[in-house]
Each structure stands twice: as structure tokens, then as C-alpha cells.
Amino acid sequence: MTPDKPGKPAPAKDPRRETGRAGEDLATAYLREQGYRIVERNWRCRMGEIDIVAKDGPVLVIVEVRSKRSAVFGSGLESVSGRKLAKLTGLAEMYLVLEKVRNVPVRLDVVSIVFDGEKPPKLEHVKNITG
């Protein structure tokens, strides 16, 4: 029971959402350790969401975080299809317009994290997935 709504059960936790949030937290910490400055997390517009916007020196980096509970069906990197890449490119362009960012080099990265039971999470970072 939730204290603010007596008589109603607490909403069920969504394991996929929890995995995604844990992955984004881990990716953010990793990027900071690598010297990136985190500009935004979970930036949203009508087209969708950018997981992390960061600065790597002068470069604005749009980061897609792919989190999985197992590598049985491949890594998170393998799940970034051409369609997803096109969407990320569109989101990056929308970010630049809406946030009035000009004359800055932009790069798209993917951080894949696999949480596999008791093992430490496996993190892979691929820079510049478009080139």
C-alpha cells in the first residue's frame, strides 16, 4: 500500500525501466570518469529522447545508452539499427535547433551495458557511430 493513497497497491516496478535507469546512471559515471562534462540527461522533444548529452572537449556528444540484462541475444551495440541511427541523427539535429547550439562539432556515441547476474556489468563505448 502506498501511504499517500490508502487502499491502492503500489504500482508494479518495470524491470526494463529499472535496467535502463541503472544503465544510464552507470554510463553517466563512466563518461564523467573519462573527462566528459554531462550537459543533460533524458532530453525530450516531440521526436523522442536523447539519453545523455555531453561535452568531450569542444565536441557535443549525443549518447545513446543500450542496457540489457543478458547478452544472450547480442550486445546493446548490435541493437542500434539503421532506423535507430536515423532517429538519433534527427534528435541531434532537433537538439541543436531547440537549444540554439551553433558552430559546435557533434558526434553520436553508443554506450552498451550488459548486466549479467552476479558478474560486474560489461560496458562498451563506441564513439562516432555514424563514421
Tens-level pLDDT at each residue, the chain (131 residues): 444 555 655 555 676 678 778 889 999 999 999 999 999 999 999 999 999 999 999 999 999 999 887 665 555 566 677 888 899 999 999 999 999 999 999 999 999 998 887 788 889 999 998 75
- Residue 21 C-beta-side C-alpha neighbours within 13 Å: 6
Task: Give the β-pairing of 59-68 and 106-114.
Answer: parallel
Domain count, the chain: 1
Task: Give the β-pairing of 48-56 and 37-45.
Answer: antiparallel
* pLDDT for 45: 95
* pLDDT for 67: 86
User: What domain range includes position 70?
Assistant: 15-126
* pLDDT for 118: 79
Q: Does the residue 51 lie in any domain?
A: yes
Q: Does the residue 71 lie in any domain?
A: yes
The CATH number of residue 33's host domain is 3.40.1350.10
